[in-house]
């Protein structure tokens, strides 16, 4: 009888695949292979759209290319899909600040602070908020 729910082995396989894709994306980003990183993070976003790592990775790849409008867009999607992600809000704030949209950036910084779960992240948010 088909219940409509994935089997445990299928869910486990998806989880393993998701982690492998993330590992490949992160490795590519660390090696400054931005094209590969972007492809892997994009695949991660398809496999697990509510995984903040996908949207942060996609945003970071665009930041490293200096493509601030696209970075802001990717962080915005992440913030909408994972509203509790301090990292997505922080990236969005950083990108909006680069675009000269300071009022929107301030709101995103506020959202990042609200979602931050530890003192180290709050400190990072405060430092980035002050960076011109």
Which CATH number does the domain housing residue 53 bear?
1.25.40.10
19 assigned to some structural domain:
yes
Mean pLDDT of 34-39: 98
Please say whether the beta carbons of 40 and 25 come within 8 A.
Answer: yes
- The three-state secondary structure class of 78 is helix
Considering the domain boundaries, does residue 122 fall inside one?
Answer: yes
Residue 3, domain member (yes or no): no
Question: Looking at residue 6, what is its pLDDT?
Answer: 52
2 in a domain, yes or no?
no
Give the closest residue to 92 by CA, choosing from 34, 41, 18, 106: 106
3-class SS of residue 118: coil
- Exposed/middle/buried for residue 117 (C-beta within 10 Å: 0-12, 13-18, 19+): exposed
Q: Given this model, what pLDDT does residue 1 score?
A: 45
Domain that holds residue 123: 9-130
Q: CA angle, corner 48, sides to 31 and 25, nearest 5?
A: 5
Dig out the tokens for 38 from the structure.
């972007």
* Cα distance between residue 86 and residue 79, in whole Å: 8
Query: pLDDT of 88-111, one tens digit each?
Result: 999 999 999 999 999 999 999 999
């Amino acid at each position: 009888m088909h219940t409509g729910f994935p089997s445990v082995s299928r869910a486990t396989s998806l989880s393993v695949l998701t982690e492998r894709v993330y590992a490949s994306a992160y490795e590519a980003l660390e090696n400054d292979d931005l094209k590969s990183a972007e492809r892997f993070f994009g695949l991660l976003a398809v496999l697990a759209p509510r995984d903040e790592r996908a949207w942060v990775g996609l945003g970071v790849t665009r930041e490293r290319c200096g493509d601030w409008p696209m970075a802001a867009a990717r962080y915005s999607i992440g913030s909408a899909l994972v509203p509790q992600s301090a990292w997505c809000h922080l990236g969005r704030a950083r990108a909006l600040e680069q675009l000269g949209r300071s009022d929107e950036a301030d709101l995103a910084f506020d959202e990042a602070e609200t979602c931050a779960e530890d003192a180290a992240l709050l400190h990072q948010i405060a430092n980035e908020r002050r960076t011109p």
